[in-house]
Amino acid sequence: MKTTLSTSPLDAKTRFRVQVKHAVAIGPGKADVLQAIAETGSIAESGRRLGMSYQRVWSLVRAMNGDFIEPLVLTQRGGNAGGGAALTPTGAETLAIYRAIERDAERAVTKRLPQLLALIRPEAGADS
């Protein structure tokens, strides 16, 4: 399992991604999709809320549903009864675990990042 943590001292935002076997990953984008679906009950509304196309949200949902032991999102097509989307219990658990990992990572970064930044030249990484 590979984990990636990226942070920017300029915006104090930590982004954490868990990747398994070069393909299966859950990171901030997929977690935000799960969160939006839980809150809106809609793939389309989730896309609007996140500034993603409907197709992009669907693509992420299909990837997650295929990568986990059970689907994370159940969908119902539109029609007279209307469509919708909802997290499965596994989807809700996955989101909760990811958010807990995010909080743990944020605490670790907050504690150690200033020490690391003190060792980096202020001009490092600037375009020449």
Write down the mean pLDDT value for the chain: 85
DSSP class of residue 79 equals S
Is 12 a member of any domain? no
Structural domain harbouring 71 = 28-100
Q: What is the pLDDT of residues 62-106, one digit of tens each?
A: 999 999 999 999 998 875 566 799 999 999 999 999 999 989 988
User: Which of 1, 27, 30, 26 has the alpha carbon at shortest distance from 14?
Assistant: 27
Half-sphere exposure in the Cβ direction for 91 (13 Å, CA):
26
What's 66's domain CATH number? 1.10.10.10
As a whole number of angstroms, the distance between CA 12 and CA 106 comes to 10
Q: What is the pLDDT of residue 17?
A: 82
The verdict on residue 55 lying in a domain is yes
How many domains, the chain?
1
Residue 19 inside a domain? The answer is no
Q: How far apart are CA 27 and CA 18, in angstroms?
A: 6
Which residue's entry shows tokens 């992009």? Answer: 56
Please check whether residue 15 lies inside any domain of the structure. Answer: no
